[in-house]
Amino acid sequence: MKKAEFLLTPVVGKYFVGREDVVKELGKELGNPKSRIGFCLYGRRRVGKTSVLMEVKDHLANKRNVVVVYLSLYDLADFSIETLGEEIINAVIDAYQEKNLLPFTIKIRKLLEAPIEVVTELLSNTKIEASVLEHIKILLEYKQGRRNYTNYIRDVFNTGEVLGKATSTKCVIILDEFPEMTKVENGMQLVKILRTQYEKQEKTALVISGSIKKTLETVALSEASPFYKQLVPKHIMPFSREEVEKFLSLYLGKTKTDEVEKLYQLTGGLPFYLQFIGRSTGYAGSIDKAINQFLEQEGDLFFKEEIEKLSEKEKIIVIGLFQGKKTLTELANDINEAPTTVGRYLPELIGKEIVVKESRGKYELLDKMFGLWLKRTYLHDVK
């Protein structure tokens, strides 16, 4: 088999590695027209959640009675209620048009730019369900300032339901980087409206994903969150050592056991690092050489902004953790503060996915690659 090429985009198809059980479960439930079970995928940054979602989408592509809509909220340039609404509408109707389930070929983006009178006349001349026609007209009325915010959001999130009923299909809506929704004005209210609307739907299944655990808990994982027990949580983990070995065999062929182990330990099994190091270096020479070359060429791009966002005391705590100080007392001595003071910083660093609680009273850096960059940049050690 031809060796895979290193990519910086989601991987699907024959070069997709790991998470087979998750893909199989999502594919089975989402591909069942009678199932309304939705999912919440969560995991740390760079763990490959989008690849999992795209692989599921690919698995469902040939199901005639299931329409899959994918939208990354992170990619929205101008994040506002209006933009979000339009992008969801566009994505849903585009997905139905791609399966030839709607009798008009003009893109909805063009419809939204036209006067409502023109759109009404255009759609009236097509063989379209009355419910779909009415729904599109309602959305266009908001565009022209004739609808209120709450009703508009409900109608936006009901677009897939309306089209599903009109075409006897199930609409699967995947909203990647879902926590971004909370950043808009009245973001949590928006999430609550979505949840209320979702409860009423019969033809729609929702899948959301997110990296920032604290924010995702607010919307889906904690008992007080709007989507608690509404969506099945799925924790996407980094690659296991065996999956790192499989990854390398696809991209490089046979690899030495000790090199696989070293790469697994240094990258933490994060697919993004495995891909980017390969893209930058081709893993020429030893693993140590490849990683040093990657950090020299790309390290600042990934980590400089991350460290600069921290306060001076947070930086000292992070560097202290890398140097092996794991307890509150050890870290407190580094910044001449009481352990209780240090204890107030650590939850924030955990929320930023920089620190992880190793065990009771002990902490460590979550990302070993970040630690290696710190070693080069702040301790001036490039070995």
Q: How many CA atoms lie within 13 A of 359 on its CB side?
A: 1
**Lowest mean pLDDT, pick from 78-87, 177-186, 292-301:** 78-87
- pTM score of the predicted model: 0.84
1-15 average pLDDT score: 77
Distance, CA of 184 to CA of 211 (rounded, Å): 18
pLDDT of 69: 95
Please report how the helices 257-267 and 271-281 are oriented relative to each other, as an axis angle in degrees rounded to 10.
120
CB burial readout 340-351, b (16+ within 10 A) else e: eebeebbeebbe
Please tell me the total number of residues recorded for the chain in this structure.
Answer: 383
pLDDT of residue 207: 95
Burial environment of residue 29 by CB neighbours within 10 A (0 to 12, 13 to 18, 19 or more):
middle
Is residue 111 scored above 70 in pLDDT? no
Q: How confident is the model at residue 358 (pLDDT cuts 50, 70, 90)?
A: confident
User: In the chain, what are the domains?
Assistant: 1-16+240-303 (no CATH), 19-235 (3.40.50.300), 310-383 (1.10.10.10)
133 against 79, higher pLDDT = 79
Q: Is-contact 256 286, C-beta < 8 A?
A: no
CA distances from 300 to 264, 297, 355, 381 (A): 22, 8, 19, 15
pLDDT of residue 222: 80
User: CA-CA distance, 21 to 63, in Å (whole number)?
Assistant: 20
State the pLDDT at residue 278: 87
Residue 197 or 152, more confident: 197
- Determine the residue type at 91: A
pLDDT, one tens digit per residue, over 119-143 is 556 555 555 666 666 666 666 666 6
**pLDDT reading at 2 higher than 70:** no
Q: What is the mean pLDDT of the chain?
A: 83
Q: How confident is the model at residue 173 (pLDDT cuts 50, 70, 90)?
A: very high
Share in percent of the chain as helix, strand, coil (round to 5): 55, 10, 30
**Neighbour tally for 65: CB within 10 Å:** 14
Neighbours of 67 (CB within 10 A): 24
Tokens read off for 251: 């991209």
Q: Across residues 221-243, what is the average pLDDT? A: 87
Q: How large is the average pLDDT for residues 217-239? A: 85
Read off the pLDDT of residues 275-318 as tens digits, 9 standing for 90 and up. 988 888 888 878 888 888 888 888 888 888 888 888 888 888 88
> What are the pLDDT digits (tens) for 260-274?
888 899 899 999 999
Strands 355-359 and 362-365: antiparallel
Asked if residue 212 has pLDDT above 60, the reply is yes
Find the mean pLDDT for residues 64-88.
84
- pLDDT-based confidence at residue 374 (cuts at 50, 70, 90): confident
pLDDT grade, residue 32 (50/70/90)?
very high
- From 62, 87, 63, select the one nearest 74 (Cα to Cα): 87
pLDDT band at 340 (very low <50, low <70, confident <90, very high): confident
Per-residue pLDDT at 137: 66
Q: At 26, is the pLDDT very low, low, confident or very high (cuts 50, 70, 90)?
A: very high
Asked if residue 226 has pLDDT above 90, the reply is: no
User: 352 phi and psi, to 5 degrees?
Assistant: -85, 5
Task: State the pLDDT at residue 67.
Answer: 95
Asked if pLDDT for residue 224 goes beyond 90, the answer is no
Q: How confident is the model at residue 49 (pLDDT cuts 50, 70, 90)?
A: very high
